[in-house]
Amino acid sequence: MSEKHVPSDWILSDRPERPEEACGVFGVYATGEDVARLAYFGLHALQHRGQESAGIAVADGHTLMVVKNLGLVPQVFTESDLDSLQGFLAVGHTRYSTTGASKKWENAQPMISSIGPNTIALAHNGNLVNTASLRDELSALGTRFRSTTDSEVIVRLVDHFTQQHHSIRGGIRDAMRMMRGAYSVVMMSEEALYAFRDPYGVRPLSLGRLPDERGWVVASETCALDIVGAEYVRDIAPGELVRVKDGVLDSEQAVSPAKPGLCIFEFVYFARPDSVLYGRSLYEARRLQGASLATTAPVEADLVIGVPDSGVPGAVGYAQASGIPFGEGLVKNRYVGRTFISPTQSLRQQGIRLKLNPLKHIIEGQRLVVVDDSIVRGNTSRKLVQLLREAGAAEVHMRLTSPPVVWPCFYGIDTDTQDQLIAANHSVEEIAEFIGADSLAYLSLDELVASTGRPADEFCRACFDGEYPIEVPESVRRGKLALEPGA
């Protein structure tokens, strides 16, 4: 496939190569604890889920305060900020927006709103697919909006129904019955913590307990429970609403659970390898994915390397199953994220070198198996292969621990319309030629599912097979969203 057949924006685009998750959420109820610092470190563990803004809200039973801003967690919060956030309740959020307006302070979370005599703070991970219709209905009732996110629509919807019920739980319950799409939410008033999840459970949400029954923690991933010393108890169930008040946890099935639909890409890339989903270690799942590739897509090579960080467990599995030595051929600069300081044009031309640097003395003259998690547009993989060639690699064989991404996501992941997904428009051989690899192989969907230890019908697999568990309006499928997803 010659370059002239490839859309120019695949080559020139600065958009992320991998699908990007949309936000991490964290909530804690713990009397006598420094909940602001617990939330800070919880968000630190969830930084990979959102790198554009961060926020923490804290309440003490009477008042609610929030600190939020654009930037990474360590950039947003100072010691004095955390000292000022005193209370026994906290909700935190790290944000990645899936469309524009990421650099608007108004879209940073937690979202704060007055609901009757109460003030609430809400943090949301996911994406509603009926945002526009809900906003229109609320606007017709006189509701005014300050941001452009679906997360604020959730806030206003809860507000609307709370006023009818004179009960926050009743307001959440009715709001959940109206919302369509993916949502894992932590929310608090001045005196209670709430957590609720869509009936499909598309986005993860875990419940933990602090030692000696000192309090409860809710987080997007179990790694955030680990960092604050909380013991994992269970997942918040699809359609479940949990409240912690006066130290007591109450649960109800607010909406009937649907067919399970956890995003299977959590097992490929989104979740940290030290997290657990469906009872399975993410590291172990990714190691098994690499081992499967060694069986289904073997190749004669001298060294197996992983693309940091998500490709490394798969590379370990490939090496173990194939008998080819594993080596560290790429060093990642972990301090280069979505910085707000733009590189110069000459640095931009270095592209992937800002994040990855090859170890030439390891790579030179070697036939490499390079394990990565996915290829979406092809830009980064093309630059990576070129980087390895320049470092002296004799051969580069790409192996991916996911099937081809051929369908866009509408539930909170940043993938384009189908014409921008390289695997939707070109064969494996053509993609290999475009990125410059000697060979390219993907993990099959069946093998990916097998690595999770769960049946296929417990996952949303839409980005791979086009079967969307939640009906998506045609206007949303065409990319004509009136609002941007906020979480």
Which of 397, 420, 399, 396 is CA-nearest to residue 408? Answer: 420
Site of tokens 């994406």: 127
DSSP per-residue string spanning 363-394: HTT-EEEEEES--SSSHHHHHHHHHHHHTT-S
Burial, 458: exposed, middle or buried (Cβ in 10 Å; 0-12, 13-18, 19+)?
A: middle
DSSP per-residue string spanning 419-483: GG-HHHHS-HHHHHHHHT-SEEEE--HHHHHHHHTS-GGGEE-HHHH---SS---HHHHTT--SS
Query: Which alpha helices (DSSP H) does 4-112 contain, by range?
Result: 8-12, 35-45, 73-76, 79-84
C-alpha 473/C-alpha 61 separation (Å) is 41
263 tagged catalytic: no
C-alpha 464/C-alpha 3 separation (Å) is 25
Q: What angle do CA 280, 206, 254 make, to 5 degrees?
A: 120
Q: What are the strands, taking DSSP E only, across 18-72?
A: 24-29, 53-59, 64-70
Contact 197, 183 (CB under 8 A): yes
C-alpha 225/C-alpha 27 separation (Å) is 10
DSSP structure class, residue 248: E
In angstroms and rounded to an integer, the radius of gyration of the C-alpha atoms of the chain is 23
Residues with catalytic annotation?
23
